[in-house]
Amino acid sequence: MILKAQNVAKTYSSRDDFSLQIDNFTIAEGSFTAMLGPNGSGKSTFLKIILDLLFADSGDITLLGTNHKNKLARDKVSYLPENFSFPKSFTVGEMLHAFADLKTSPPPNLDQCISDLAEAFNVDYLDKKMKGLSKGMRQTAALMNTFLYDDRFYILDEPFNGLDAVQKKAIMDYIFQQQEERNITVLITTHILSDIDKTCDTLHLIKDGSIINSASKAEIQEQFGNVEEYYLNHFESANPVTS
Amino acid sequence: MIRFTIRTILKNKILWAWPGIFVLFAAATFYWGGISPSAEGASFVFNFGKASLPSGMVMSQITSFVVLMGIIGFPNHFAKALEPERASLMLSNPISRSEFFFSDLAAMVTISLAYAFLSVFPMAILLGIEGGIFPMQFFLTMLLFLPLLLLTYYVTIVLFLILTDSYLAGALLGWIVTGFSSLFLNIEKVLTTIGINSETIHTTMDVLSFLIPSSAAIQQVMQAAYGGGFTAIDGSLLAFALATFLPMTALSYYLYLNKEF
């Protein structure tokens, strides 16, 4: 099991008493899991709790077999936050080198890895400064930083923000290739339902801090046809059909 | 981790003004001034026109510029690292908060030492060519105490950065609060002058003087060392200065460990 979270609770008194309550959440190795929900439903909060960036009031989380508070739990984990800020005066190449210093064992052939990934992601601006990049270019650079290492678990919070269709396809193709070759595990949150229609094995719907429904891709296709119908059924309908 | 922080700090152009000041000063002295041995016990004096200025006096003026550069330049990367957008990128890696915190202090000291070394270089050329001297203890004072002086400000600034989440507020409050250390260093005199003899107030002030990193004590030690070498250093004053680092460092560390991003 890559991730196991039990009875995780967190309450924010400053956010209109918003509380997150995840009773049981697991992710199996090699799976592609999506977490869907409206803005402010607690998706990012839960991801940050997993990575010990936010502290849960209670609960147990095991990440790659280790308590998530132990730094070793994050040894083979890559995270792309929804909002990120890289040093603006760095070029893309410098940024990738600098962040490689934060890894326990960065690839010995880092330059080669960067140039391979740049080719896969259609990046020809490694020498451009971060401050001069467009939103889509910055997002791609951040995705490069996420996928530069041979990690086992990738946590992606709204990874396709600002990307055009061509770029999105190039990155999705790369992720699929990595899943086939290295059996990586992906946990993704997104608002663009079409992005995950064909890709996810399992989907979790989260609302007001709680998971209200979970379903496999097969169940969704059988019962709703596609992810969008599944989503709308739970968030638009007064009496949703449960899978 | 320390390499990451060093890379980030080195990108800060403001800090390059620190060795820049020394290069400009050395060049200005070379063209318009001179160096000669001091008649009053100081290691040497700077001559500008008819004015002869003791090395300690000149260096303390340059040091205040260096402190200004340090206060503006050094906290920048820590302030950025406290923003959730940057912190979540960094701390989602296999590094602990303790590692981040102490690596940051270590990187700050390392860069300070490097810039202090770069500052010694033009001074050594100036003193060698112009005065025919190589005052080793003068250079060592620069190398050892300039980083230490900046660290006194930095430790306080880090605390206020964590408390306020603002670069400007952190840098300003850190500078102001550390500036109070000069008041505490002479607190006995100050209290006596204004006629306060209460034992309780004296004791309270003594305790408070240990809670703020004493930049004033380091500056006094530096001035003494510039003038009379290492033998002129008051050991108890230096020990006091080093002890004052601990409370704010410990408090900043505790707050950082418990900060959410």
- Residue A107: pLDDT band with limits 50, 70, 90: confident
In a domain, B50, yes or no: no
Q: Which chain B residue is nearest to residue A102, measuring alpha carbons?
A: B1
Average pLDDT over residues B147-161: 95
Q: Which chain B residue is nearest to residue A143, measuring alpha carbons?
A: B89
| pLDDT, position B226 | 85
Q: What percent of chain B has pLDDT over 70?
A: 98
Find chain A residues with C-beta within 8 A of B86's C-beta.
Answer: 84-86
B257 touches chain A (CB under 8 A): no
The model carries a pTM of 0.89
- Residue B40: pLDDT band with limits 50, 70, 90: low
Nearest residue to B30 (alpha-carbon basis) of B153, B128, B155, B143 = B128
| pLDDT, position B186 | 83
Residue A154 to residue B106: CA distance in whole angstroms = 31
Q: Give yes or no for a contact between B91 and A52, defined as CB atoms under 8 angstroms apart.
A: yes
Q: How far is CA A119 from CA A92, A109, A174, in A?
A: 14, 16, 11
In a domain, B199, yes or no: no
Is the confidence at residue B33, as pLDDT, over 90? Answer: no
Residue B85 belongs to domain spanning: 2-19+55-179+210-257
In a domain, B36, yes or no: no
Average pLDDT over residues A18-47: 94
In a domain, B67, yes or no: yes
Find chain B residues with C-beta within 8 A of A71's C-beta.
Answer: 94-96, 99
Q: Which of A53, A86, A103 sits opposite B261 (nearest CB)?
A: A53
Task: Encode pLDDT of A152-188 as tens digits.
Answer: 999 999 999 999 999 999 999 999 999 999 999 999 9
| pLDDT, position B1 | 82
Asked casually if ipTM beats, i.e. exceeds, 0.85, the reply is yes
Residue A217 to residue B42: CA distance in whole angstroms = 82
- CB contact (8 A) between residue B86 and residue A55: no
Torsion over CA: B105, B106, B109, B111 (sign): negative
- CB contact (8 A) between residue A53 and residue B89: no
In a domain, B189, yes or no: no
B25 Cβ contact partners less than 8 Å away, ≥ 6 residues apart: B62, B122
In a domain, B195, yes or no: no
Q: Which of A74, A90, A94 sits opposite B93 (nearest CB)?
A: A74
Find chain B residues with C-beta within 8 A of A53's C-beta.
Answer: 84, 87-88, 91-92, 260-261
| pLDDT, position A194 | 81
- Residue B9: pLDDT band with limits 50, 70, 90: very high
In a domain, B46, yes or no: no
Q: Give yes or no for a contact between B219 and B149, defined as CB atoms under 8 angstroms apart.
A: yes
| pLDDT, position B34 | 87
Q: What percent of chain A has pLDDT over 70?
A: 97
B255 touches chain A (CB under 8 A): no
Average pLDDT over residues B185-214: 87
Task: Encode pLDDT of B84-123 as tens digits.
Answer: 999 999 999 999 999 999 999 999 999 999 999 999 999 9
Matching residue, tokens 């890289």: A86
SS (H, E, C) chain A: CCEEEEEEEEEECCCCCEEEEEEEEEECCCCEEEEECCCCCCHHHHHHHHCCCCCCCEEEEEECCEECCCHHHHCCEEEECCCCCCCCCCEHHHHHHHHHCCCCCCCCCHHHHHHHHHHHCCCCCCCCEHHHCCHHHHHHHHHHHHHCCCCCEEEEECCCCCCCHHHHHHHHHHHHHHHHHHCCEEEEECCCHHHCCCCCCEEEEEECCEEEEEEEHHHHHHHCCCHHHHHHHHHCCCCCCCC
In a domain, B184, yes or no: no
Task: Encode pLDDT of A36-80 as tens digits.
Answer: 999 889 999 999 999 999 999 999 999 999 999 999 999 999 999
Average pLDDT over chain A reads: 92
Tell me the shortest Cα–Cα distance from A159 to chain B, in angstroms: 14
Average pLDDT over chain B reads: 90
- Residue B180: pLDDT band with limits 50, 70, 90: confident
- Considering only CB atoms, which residues of chain A are within 8 Å of chain B? 48, 51-55, 71-72, 74-75, 77-79, 81, 83-87, 89-90, 94, 97-99, 101-104, 145, 155
Average pLDDT over residues B173-178: 92
Tell me the shortest Cα–Cα distance from A46 to chain B, in angstroms: 12
| pLDDT, position B55 | 85
- CB contact (8 A) between residue A98 and residue B4: yes
| pLDDT, position B171 | 92
Terminal CA-to-CA distance of chain A, rounded, Å?
24
Matching residue, tokens 């100081």: B42
Nearest residue to B35 (alpha-carbon basis) of B17, B20, B50, B48 = B48
Q: Which of B8, B85, B94 sits opposite A75 (nearest CB)?
A: B94
Is the confidence at residue A87, as pLDDT, over 80? Answer: yes
Is the confidence at residue A115, as pLDDT, over 80? Answer: yes
| pLDDT, position B42 | 54
Nearest residue to B156 (alpha-carbon basis) of B32, B251, B24 = B251
Burial of B110 (0-12, 13-18, 19+ CB in 10 A): middle
Find chain B residues with C-beta within 8 A of A87's C-beta.
Answer: 8, 11, 80
| pLDDT, position B228 | 81
Residue B183 to residue B189: CA distance in whole angstroms = 10
Residue A53 main-chain phi, psi, to 5 deg: -85, -35
Q: Total domain count for chain B?
A: 1
- Residue B184: pLDDT band with limits 50, 70, 90: confident
